[in-house]
């Protein structure tokens, strides 16, 4: 099953997903914090520059 590109999600699909997430948050209060932590981790990894190796490490 192909992974959808996030830019291809329609407004209706986005609204439905938002509603699902909100419903999940109400059932599991820790869900929001977990999701936020995951998103921050992903963003940090996506924008962190490639780690330069010291000559002695190679």
More confident residue, 58 or 34: 34
Q: What's the pLDDT score for residue 48? A: 64
Q: What's the pLDDT score for residue 20? A: 82
- Note the pTM of the prediction, 2 decimals: 0.30
CA-angle at 12, arms to 19 and 32, nearest 5°: 25
pLDDT in tens, 3-53: 655 556 677 777 887 888 777 666 666 777 788 888 888 777 776 666 777
Distance of CA 55 to the CA centre of its chain: 34
Q: What's the pLDDT score for residue 5? A: 56
Instruction: Specify whether the backbone of 49 is left (phi greater than 0), alpha (psi in -120 to 50) or beta.
Output: beta
How far is Cα 29 from Cα 33, in angstroms, rounded to an integer? Answer: 8
More confident residue, 56 or 25: 56
């Amino acid at each position: 099953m192909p992974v959808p590109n996030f830019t291809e999600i329609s407004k209706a699909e986005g609204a439905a997903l938002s509603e699902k997430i909100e419903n999940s948050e109400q059932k599991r209060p820790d869900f929001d914090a977990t999701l936020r932590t995951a998103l921050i981790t992903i963003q940090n990894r996506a924008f962190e520059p490639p780690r330069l190796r010291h000559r002695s490490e190679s």
